[in-house]
Amino acid sequence: MTLNIGVDVGGTKIAAAAVDEEGVVAGRALRETPAQDVDAIADAIADIADELRDRAEDNGEEIAGVGLACAGFVDAEGANVVFAPNLAWRDEPLAARIKERTDIPVVLENDANAAAWGEFRFGAARDADHMIMVTLGTGVGGGIIDRHQLLRGSQGMAAEIGHLRVVPDGHLCGCGNRGCWEQYASGSALVRDAREVVRVDTSYAKTLRERCGGDPDELDGVMVTETAFDGDAAAVELLEDIGRWTGMGIASLVAVLDPEVIVVGGGVAAAGDLVLGPARQAFARNLTARSHRPTPPLVLAELGNDAGMIGAADLASVRAG
């Protein structure tokens, strides 16, 4: 059997899997990301690919290609990481470096694009021809599929949807602009707003304050979500706010792209209907020409944290073919 390796390179870990042509994971491996050392990152990626190849060969299987899903801007040729906000890559010829180390064909893609492709091929959008994926994580990412094609743009940098301007002169974003969507609909936004609620000494935030031991700086998104699942009104309201911003932003995307389905993934989406319920309501309320068109479904991603690996592996197969 022929497999492809998908590698999801994030700011803290490198997760990889050998994946078959049906999107089934046949083996996994994990490394920490040496985020500020370019050579060490390449060595870690090559090492994890070699480990999975050796395992595959021991089982009589062949590795045909490696797909790299990277948290950064990837050029139009899929050869270089132009810029990565949380890694030391600047105009890094990553595809060539990994091919040189492994002697395996390498495909390079943005991590959100790879996740969107994974959901399109094997997950929540597998029956669609046109889809948008929105990932709610530390920031807001996304991927766009139109007529079975991944939309990459002239420079390879399409679908940076988290940097749509939604609030003129709003919160300062890491990209240098103000009012970007990810400043209102991301995990970072959730944590920022939750800490502000805790800092205001009211009984409304009592449970959240207890959850973080009275130190707002110790509060994280998981704590907020767990507290919301327990029914705490303040935590529920914080997630509802994220959902509303998510739905409003998606309505703008749909006005431009007219997809069949919108898939929502990422860590914040683990809150389920606490986020997706308000998101669906805000989306339906803000959808252009809503009384004269069907409302495309807004659904939860199915592949979870595997989406990037599975998508990258499949892209290696598709582009090699």
In the prediction, which pLDDT does 79 show?
Answer: 92
Task: Give the pLDDT confidence score for residue 224 in this predicted structure.
Answer: 98
**Contact between residue 131 and residue 119 where contact means Cβ atoms under 8 Å apart:** yes
Phi-psi region of 15 (alpha: psi -120 to 50; beta: other; left: phi over 0): beta
Domains plus CATH for the chain? Answer: 2-118+306-320 (3.30.420.40), 129-301 (3.30.420.40)
On whether the pTM is more than 0.85, the answer is yes
Residue 177 three-state SS = coil
At 193, the amino acid letter reads D
The span from the CA of 305 to the CA of 20, in Å, is: 17
Provide the pLDDT for residue 124: 98
Side-chain half-sphere exposure of 60, counting CA atoms within 13 A: 1
- As a whole number of angstroms, the distance between CA 31 and CA 196 comes to 35
Chain mean position to CA 158: 14
Structure tokens at 195: 């800490």
Question: Could you give phi then psi for residue 312, rounded to 5 degrees?
Answer: -65, -40
DSSP state of 9: E
Q: Position of tokens 């060490």?
A: 40
191-227 CB burial, b ≥16 within 10 A, e <16? bebbbebbeeeeeebebbbebbeeebeebbbebbbeb
Strand partners, 141: 135
pLDDT recorded at residue 19? 97
CA dihedral of residues 148, 149, 150, 152 (deg, nearest 10): -160
Measured in degrees and rounded to the nearest 5, phi and psi for residue 81 equal: -90, 110
Torsion sign (Cα): 53, 56, 58, 64? negative
Ranges of the chain with pLDDT below 70: 320-321
- DSSP reduced 3-state for 126: coil
- pLDDT value at residue 175: 85
Tell me the percentage of the chain whose pLDDT exceeds 90.
89
